[in-house]
Structure 1
Amino acid sequence: TYCAKVEDVIQLIDEDVRAIMLPNLIGNKPNWKLLRSELKAINREDVVLIEDSADTLTETQESDIATTSFYASHVITAGGVGGMVMFNNKQNLSLCLQYRDWGRIGDDSESMDDRFNHVVDGIQYDHKFLYSVLGYHMKCSEMSAAFGLVQLKRFQQFSKIRRTIIERYLKNLEGIKGLVLPDDSIKPNWLAIPLQAEKRYELLTFLEDNNIQTRVAFAGNITRHPIYREYLQDFENADTIMQNGFLLGAHHGMTTEDVDYVC
C-alpha cells in the first residue's frame, strides 16, 4: 500500500503526541477512519490528524487537515507551483489564513467601521493591519489562482484518465515474475504506478535506454540519506522500497498506447 499501518501508528502514541501527519503516499491512503476510531478507543481524540496529500488531491471526514501540492506533474497544477490546505474546522482555517497573510488578523474589508473599530493600548487602529502571529507571505498569485481554478474544473476528467492508465498497467503487468504490483483495492488516485523489482537497476537501465522515464519510489528510508544520517534506523518496509521500488508515469497526458509501449 506504501502507507502506514494503523496498528503501527497507535503503538507510537504517548502523552507527548499532539498531532499525526501521515502521507497519502503516491496517492494511496492509510485507513484514516480506523485510525480515528483507535485513537478514540485510547482516549486520544485530541490528537490532530493531518493528511499529507502532496501526491494527490483528497481529504477525508476523519482527518482534521489535508494538504496537497500543485507541482507541475501532479493531478492538477496552478501554473506549475503552489499548493492548498483544507480544513474540517473553521477555527483552524481562520488561523491558517493569518499565518498565510503575514500574520494579519484582519480581512480585506474596506469598510471604515470594520477597519477602525479596534483599539490597541488606547490607540484607534486599523484592524486590516493588526498582527497576531508570526506569519508568512504565502498568498497565491492571481495567475496561479486563475490557472488552478480552470484545472479544478478538469479534475474529474484527469482522474478518470489516470484511473484508465493505472488499470492498463495492472492488466499488462499481471503475473510477471519478480515484479511486485501495488495494492489497488481502494482504487486510489495514484500519482504514478509504484512497482518493486529485485533487479531494479537492470530494469530501470533498460527502460531509460528505451526513452521511458523512471524514478525511484521517493526517499525510501529517509534516515539513510546524508541529511538524516544522525537518526539512522532500520525500517523494514521503507528499506525494501528503497532497495527495490520505482515509479512509472501515469499522467493524464498519456494514452493506453503509451502504456502498451512501456509494458
Structure 2
Amino acid sequence: MSVHSEIKKITTETLRKMKFDKEKITMLTAYDFTTAKMVDAGGTDAILVGDSAANVMAGFETTLPITLDQMIYHTQCVVRGVNRALVVADLPFGTYQSNSEKALDSAVRMMKEGGAHAVKIEGGAEIEDSIRKIVNAGIPVMGHLGLTPQSIYQFGTYKVRAKEDAEAEKLIKDAKLLEELGCFALVLEKIPADLAKKVTESISIPTIGIGAGADCDGQVLVYHDMVGMNKDFTPKFLRRYLDLYTEITGAVAQYVKDVKEVNFPNDKESY
C-alpha cells in the first residue's frame, strides 16, 4: 500500500514530499465527470484537465482552438468526480502569453469558476511575468517544458525537443527559473531521457515526464491513449493498458446485431 493512500486529498505539498521521499508521482488526464471518477478511484495522484481535450474530445488537429470557457467547463465536470487527486487544469493558448494581467484573469477564472486546484502553463523565460503574477496571487502553477504543443506552429513538428546543446541548456535554465518563480512542479514532454534526469536532479520541485524517460519524479499519459481508445496514435512513449477501441466497437456491433435480430430486449428486460 502506498504511504499516501490514507490521505484524503493530494495537495501540491504532497507532490513535493513524494519527490523528497523518492515515491513516484502518477498523473492521467480526464475531461469529464465519469472518467474523472474512475481515474480517481484507480488511485492516480493528480488529474490533468489537459488542453488535449481539443484533440480527444473535440477532434481538432492541435490544442490551439480550445477556449478558456470550454476548459473551465471540462474542469468543472472533472472536479465533481474527484475525491482524492490533485486537479490541475491547462490554461489554453492565448490566455496567458500576451500579458500578465490577462494571464492572472485567466488563472483566477479557472480556479473560481472551474474549481481547479492548480493551473498548468507552457513555456519558460518568455512567460516569466505571467507566472510571477499568477503565483503571487496565491495560485499554484505547474510548468511545462520540452515539447510545448501550443507552440506547434513555431516548431512545425511534434518531434523530440532539446536534442541540441543550445536548446538543452535553455531548458535546464528555464527549469531552474520556473522553480525560482514558485512553480510547484514541472511537466517535461518528449525530451531525451538523460536530459530529463539532469533537470530532475538539478531542481527541488517534482518533474512529471511524458516521453522523457524513467528518471522523472512522475509520469503522465493521456487517458484515451492509455486505455487504447485512440487506435491510430502510437508514439514510442505510449504503453497501452487496454484496447478499448476494439472492446467498444465490438460491444456496439453486438448491440446493433441483437436489436436487428430482436434479441434485445428480451422478456426479462421488458416491463
| TM-score, with structure 1 as normaliser | 0.28
| TM-score, with structure 2 as normaliser | 0.28
Compare the two structures and name the one with the higher helix fraction.
2
Q: Based on CA coordinates, which of the two structures has the bigger radius of gyration? A: 1
